[in-house]
Amino acid sequence: MKSFQTERWTVDNFEENLIKHPHVIQASLWIKQNEVVALPTETVYGLAGNAQSDHAIARIFEAKGRPSDNPLIVHISDRKQLKGLVSSIPLNAQKLMDAFWPGPLTIVLPKGKDVSEKVTAGLSTVAVRMPNHAIALAVIEASGVPLAAPSANLSGKPSPTTANHVYEDLKGKIPGIVDGGSTGVGVESTVVECTDETVTILRPGGVTFEDLEHVVGTGNVMIDPGIQNEKLAPRSPGMKYTHYAPDAPFVLVDGSPDFLQQLVDKERAAGKKIGILTTDERVDFYRADCVIPAGRRENPETVAQHLYEALRSFNEASVDQIFGEVFPKTGVGVAIMNRLEKSAGGNIIKEQ
């Protein structure tokens, strides 16, 4: 693997004419050389490379340590870039683009001729989105090509929501990071597959089931069973492998705070250093070596925004075991629980 003196290029997301910013130009020059750089989006930081270059895509997999049978999302800055990238656009896909682009929605479409086979992992489809982030859009435009950009972290680790997170994971492995501050949504985009009649959610994210139904009609949105079945071949990014895991073993607890505290007390009595993932409302209730809130339970959007940062914080605390609360699977809570269940490898203790 190549070794780099990884640079950090600070860019203000609110500056005008970002395409001419020297750090945006610098990032785009690396991309034009078929290298990869990290950049912010409204969801998480992405590791971006030319989606039309086999070499660039191979560099993404190499830097992340990501299995090459896991497809990547292609990011565009203009719908004109869909030409050659996809071969057709169903009616429902057009409706969703009108409603949610730019934004945290990825649409799986029949692939065209102008996309690396490595991006699609051999599938006949390609996942595409238009990020709602001025820096990301500027880098794509300056590069002149669609960019494949999975999360800019080591494969399996919590996704990065700050440039510091990227630096922790990929220092020396990539030439640079465009530092645009903290991301907004915090969890990755919703991924859907469309026909003219239906929309199927392949990965829950910032755009909810209810949001989609509002656009395409009640009863026309489905959830793919592969979301919770890693034995099935992945039809989109985010459907395979244990993801988002902190260093210490992580278990979800479906029960009362008192029940969770009992589990913690038992492990601490055995000499283990224990962490708890909770919310602002309950942070003072628990007794443990490290209690970290991920946001407010009454406002699940804040939990989504801070989830990965909270999971990474346990690594700094060097705990032996982490227990985490569960959340209602409604609205963005579906995405939160999808990520937590993958972080825990499906390990859930239920109160009897």
Residues near 343 by beta carbon (within 8 Å), at least 6 away in sequence: 158, 242, 243, 244, 245, 246, 250, 311, 324
Using CA atoms, how far apart are residues 28 and 158, in angstroms rounded to an integer?
Answer: 26
> Is residue 183 a known part of a binding site?
no
Using CA atoms, how far apart are residues 297 and 124, in angstroms rounded to an integer?
Answer: 40
Using CA atoms, how far apart are residues 75 and 72, in angstroms rounded to an integer?
Answer: 10
> Is residue 129 a known part of a binding site?
yes
Q: Where is 33: in which H helix or E strand?
A: none
> Is residue 218 a known part of a binding site?
no
> Is residue 3 a known part of a binding site?
no
> Is residue 79 a known part of a binding site?
no
Rounded (10°) CA dihedral 21, 23, 29, 31? -110
> Is residue 43 a known part of a binding site?
yes
> Is residue 58 a known part of a binding site?
no
> Is residue 306 a known part of a binding site?
no
Instruction: Output the six-digit token pair for 22.
Output: 């020297």
> Is residue 148 a known part of a binding site?
no
With contact defined as beta carbons under 8 Å apart, do 221 and 212 qualify?
Answer: yes
> Is residue 189 a known part of a binding site?
yes
Rounded (10°) CA dihedral 272, 278, 283, 288? 0
Residues in a beta bridge with 151? 46
> Is residue 162 a known part of a binding site?
no
With contact defined as beta carbons under 8 Å apart, do 147 and 161 qualify?
Answer: no
> Is residue 34 a known part of a binding site?
no
Residues near 140 by beta carbon (within 8 Å), at least 6 away in sequence: 48, 75, 76, 77, 146, 147
Instruction: Output the six-digit token pair for 109.
Output: 């479409």
Three-class secondary structure of residue 231 per DSSP:
coil
Instruction: Output the six-digit token pair for 244.
Output: 């988002």
Annotated binding-site ranges for ATP: 66, 70, 125, 151, 159, 203, 244
Annotated binding-site ranges for L-threonine: 43, 75, 129, 149, 189
Annotated binding-site ranges: 43, 66, 70, 75, 125, 129, 149, 151, 159, 189, 203, 244
